[in-house]
Amino acid sequence: MKVRASCVWRVGMHLSWLLVSAAVFWVFPDIDLGISGLFWTPSDGWFLAHDPVPEFVRKDFPRLLIGGVVLLVCLWGILRFCHRPLFWLTGRVCTYLVTSLVTGPGLLANVLFKENWGRARPGQIMEFGGAKVFTPPFVVTDQCISNCSFVSGHGALGFWMTALTFVVPPQWRGRVFLMTFLAGSAVGLVRILQGGHFFSDVFYAAVLVIGINCLLARWILGTKSFSCQKSGT
């Protein structure tokens, strides 16, 4: 097995793009403040902060999504026990969905980042009526103790739905990715509207989770379109 030069180039480009984006948020922190400021006024607070639809997304969306994955795994177990498998619902698919959900939104987003980064949420900082200090996305700070702003947990769950891209037939993948990416973006937008997250929190939730989905699709499902190896050499 030999690593393709094109794969090394792609990885290098992705890392360079990530560093450039981080530098942009570092040099121009007003990007986050400016976007969040569009949805906040001193008199009324956050736009749609307590509207029923955004509150449904905040409170119920995570439970529905995780519950749906659990039901899917249970369905696979029942069908396997009854010797009536579905052609697309395999043990490997279930392993991929559960592993990507636990790894991306679970361990990395909610445990590693949100519990250790210390970034205050928009609704907590002085610019929007709070008492905490605003910090750029890649600065580890002490402005929040637990369940902090970076990265967006809801955004991570929303963008996790792009994992479905890799369990559908190849001819459907482009459309499924677009639909699930837009759905994840909508979830992230809701959290920005509510003052729960900055744009960069949602942006890097997408980068993190979609990247994990792609890697695990290669390792668990053997998705050829993300191969970095050349067989036969």
pLDDT along the chain (233 residues), means of 10: 53 70 84 96 90 93 96 87 75 95 97 97 97 93 96 98 94 95 98 97 95 94 57 36
Please report the pLDDT score of residue 11 as a whole number.
61
Asked if residue 34 belongs to a domain, the reply is: no
Q: Which helix (H) or strand (E) holds 230?
A: strand 229-230
Q: Are strands 45-46 and 40-41 parallel, antiparallel or unpaired?
A: antiparallel
**Placement of tokens 């702003």 in the chain:** 149
Strand ranges for 13-132 from DSSP E: 40-41, 45-46
Asked if residue 35 belongs to a domain, the reply is: no
Encoded tokens for 29: 């922190």
Please report the pLDDT score of residue 27 as a whole number.
84
**Placement of tokens 């409170």 in the chain:** 59
Asked if residue 115 belongs to a domain, the reply is: yes
* Structural domains counted in the chain: 1
Which SS3 state, helix, strand or coil, does residue 163 take?
Answer: helix
Domain range for 110 is 52-222
Asked if residue 101 belongs to a domain, the reply is: yes
Nearest to residue 121, comparing CAs of 199, 27, 45?
199
Q: What is the DSSP letter of 16?
A: H
125: exposed, middle or buried (Cβ count in 10 Å: 0-12, 13-18, 19+)? buried
Please report the pLDDT score of residue 7 as a whole number.
54
Neighbours of 203 (CB within 10 A): 21
Neighbours of 49 (CB within 10 A): 17
Neighbours of 124 (CB within 10 A): 20
Which SS3 state, helix, strand or coil, does residue 103 take?
Answer: helix
